[in-house]
Amino acid sequence: MKVEHEFGPYINKDSEVLILGSIPSLKSRELGFYYMHPQNRFWKIMGDLFNEKSLSTILEKKKFLKKNKIALWDVLESCEINGSSDSSIKCPKVNDIKGLINGTNVKIVFVTGKKAFDLYNKFCYKDVLIKAIYLPSTSGANCRVSYDDLKEKYEIIRKSVKK
């Protein structure tokens, strides 16, 4: 099924860190924001790393991102995909990452998941010229990586954010 990215990036002019996924999951598209599937561990990890008590509403998540100068978007604008399975992605059309970060302070790009990392390197790096740092997917489907291992790997984001 052909999928279009249904909501825009979350970014501010003072953003310093950009985190990219591949394309929003079915649940994220339904709810209109990033990492919204209840089994996705992204927001729990971010809350734990930054000592945030509550990141349950979209408003709380946006306030957290703004405070920590973190931007979120996806590598893909559209693709053919079965459900939310990155491994099924075909006919990818990439977002304008370079255009997004022009005029911001973004100097670090993290990419969540192998497919997003591969797509960024193949289609975006040549324009953006910021090497992406790979992070494992926080999707509940990525059960090979434990919560503690994810948290340890995602610690690099907290260390990259200037307070």
Task: Give CA separation, 111 vs 2, 27, 95, 138, in Å.
Answer: 22, 20, 14, 11
Look up residue 106 and give its two tokens: 């973004």
Q: How far apart are the first and last CA of the chain?
A: 42
**Phi then psi for 120, rounded to 5 degrees?**
-60, -50
Whole-number Å distance between alpha carbons of 65 and 84: 24
Residue 105 annotated as catalytic: no
Catalytic residue, chosen from 12, 40, 95, 142, is: 40
Question: How are beta strands 76-80 and 108-112 bridged, if at all?
Answer: unpaired
R_g of the chain computed on alpha carbons: 15
Q: Strands across the sheet with 2-4, in order?
A: 2-4, 76-80, 90-94
Partner residues linked to 94 by β-bridges: 76
The catalytic residues are: 40
